[in-house]
Chains A and B, each alone.
Chain A
Amino acid sequence: MLTPKSEYRRKLTTPEAAVSGIQSGNTIVHGLAAAEPPALLQAIADRVRAGELDNLKVHSLLPTPTVARSLLAPDLSDCVQAYSWFVSKSTRSAVKVGLNYYVPNHFHQVPRLMRENLDIDVTVTMVSPMDKSGFFSFGTANDYTSTVARCCKRLIVEVNKNQPRVFGDSLLHISEVDAIVEHTSPLIEFKWPGPRSEDEFIGELVADLVPDGATLQLGFGGLPNVIAMKLVKHKDLGVHTEVFGPAMVELIKKGVVTGRRKNMHTGKHVFTVAEGTRQMYRFMHDNPSMESYPVSYTNNPAVIASNDNMISINSIIQVDLLGQCNAESLGGSQYSGTGGQLDYVRGAYNSRGGKSILAFYSTAKNGQVSRVVPRLGSGAVITTPRMDVHYLVTEYGVVNLKGRSTRDRALDIISIAHPDFRDSLLREAENMYLL
């Protein structure tokens, strides 16, 4: 009988040998963000560059420079059909000119969409080292990765000792793995620009909406992190989130986030993907309070709504006078993605005592452009429909659109626009017969 150790030794190979079975036309899915496996991606890219592989279909979500510089490099774009399930800075340009295709989705549906719609030949991802019982951990990327690892024809894992071992439903047994490579490199880190002057006001307004004992979901980016810093005087907050980030670590260390008043997963910090700094990854490692689950669970609106006092905090690019929010397109091009925004907006909206908060700066381009617009422009995408919008926050105030009429919501939204644009927005609202 094979022991985990002997099975590990039997499956351990080089990156080149591990990817040697990949054939032209194969569909490949790789682990998300910090779980992108650099050695395996480079080994596949080397084969493409050598002319051994053509017509690969590669699926990414929030691709980082690791995959953008290897398998999704511009010189391979004649041999690789690239699909992004959430567009990132690394591949935004390629998406803009049609060399990378965005796949619209709600994040909680991605495991199901990939399982049912893709015939996945190979999954490659990074995992934490195996324990004595033969289990790896998906670490920073549970999301869809744990699903595609189990519905592909061949699973290749890259063991990296820097990948944190986390708990929850994050374990992968050696018997499920086809090939193993070892490669130690620092995990990719995610950092955001420093705070803007408006962040101070927005952070305080949002913090006032969060009751003690609430369970938090914080979006991805600079503003949600600043908002987290304004919560330092709160008590017994909990975490049930899509993305676990460095700001949450600070709140845990300060004793603000304890999870003690959570009615689900009491005392545990629940997430599906982690994006942060080296210090954050170290904090997560072997920490029994860190529980990761597939995104089909963490982002399921019904599961989210089962958390009492669920507060979701996300950001948007613009909102129109009907209350329709665009969080993903800019200038008619796909800028990011729907991600889990609507999952959490709907979950928090339906939670007992819950609130969904969409925060944004009132202007863009140094105050020249209002982010509150009469109507979303041509090519703009509605990420959160008006029926779902709950709280909107800018540096000029807070409005609650739940159950408000078209007239009332137009006036509410204008009240938090930049003062320089309010008169023209009022005129437009009249022209639209909203007032």
Chain B
Amino acid sequence: MDLAEKQTGDVNVISVGGRLDAYSAAEAEKKIDSLVEAGRVKLVLNLNDLEYISSSGLRVFLAQLKKARKQQGDIKLCCMKPNIREVFDIAGFTQLFHIAGDEAEAVSGFSA
């Protein structure tokens, strides 16, 4: 799994690539959690290069979403490939997250 981070205004964008599974979920959790703990709770996860997500990955996203929202923040997702979108649909997670088509839309969602 690859993680890359950048900042756009007060929004942190994390690009998640490769496989987010039982082996890599802890690393992703640590990364997102460190931002949320630091009060950086406006987060966009760019999933353009994400090839696979398991239930472990889904659980990390959900737990961090709750944590961010508790601090009046949010985690918005963008650039999902169809196979990733399908997993979110099946899991019932598309109703839990704000999912944008591209990164700019996701980032601008925080100023709406």
Contacts and interface: CB of A to CB of B under 8 A. Distances in A.
A74 B95 contact: yes
Contact of A99 (B58, B63, B66, B95): B58
A93 B92 contact: yes
Contacts of A94: 91-92
A78 B66 contact: yes
Contacts of A77: 58-59, 62, 91
Interface string B79-112: 0000000010011110110000000000000000
A73 B62 CA distance: 12
Residue with the greatest number of chain B CB neighbours at <10 A, chosen from A51, A74, A97: A97
Contacts of A51: 66, 70
Nearest to B21: A98
A99 B96 CA distance: 15
Interface in A45-102: 51, 73-75, 77-78, 93-94, 96-99
Contact of B54 (A74, A96, A98): A98
B55 A97 contact: yes
A77 B60 CA distance: 10
B59 A93 contact: no
A97 B91 contact: yes
A241 B50 CA distance: 49
Nearest to B70: A51
A78 B95 contact: no
B55 A98 contact: yes
A418 B62 CA distance: 47
Contact of B92 (A74, A78, A98): A74
A293 B76 CA distance: 51
Q: Which of A51, A73, A75 has the most CB of B within 10 A?
A: A75
Nearest to A68: B92
Contacts of B87: 97
B55 A74 contact: no
Contact of A74 (B60, B63, B70, B93): B93
Contacts of A96: 90
Nearest to B93: A74
Contact of B90 (A73, A75, A78, A93): A93
B59 A75 contact: no
Contacts of B62: 75, 77-78
B63 A78 contact: yes
A73 B63 CA distance: 14
A245 B70 CA distance: 47
A74 B66 contact: no
Nearest to B54: A98
Given A97-B87, A99-B91, A75 B96 contact: yes
A78 B66 CA distance: 10
Contacts of B58: 77, 97, 99
Interface in A90-116: 93-94, 96-99
Nearest to B63: A78
A96 B87 CA distance: 9
A41 B51 CA distance: 36
Contacts of B66: 51, 78
Interface of A: 51, 73-75, 77-78, 93-94, 96-99
Interface of B: 54-55, 58-60, 62-63, 66, 70, 87, 90-93, 95-96
6 contacts: A74-B93, A77-B59, A78-B59, A93-B91, A97-B55, A98-B54
Given A77-B59, A98-B55, 13 more contacts: A51-B66, A51-B70, A74-B93, A75-B62, A77-B58, A78-B66, A93-B90, A93-B92, A97-B58, A97-B87, A97-B91, A99-B58, A99-B91
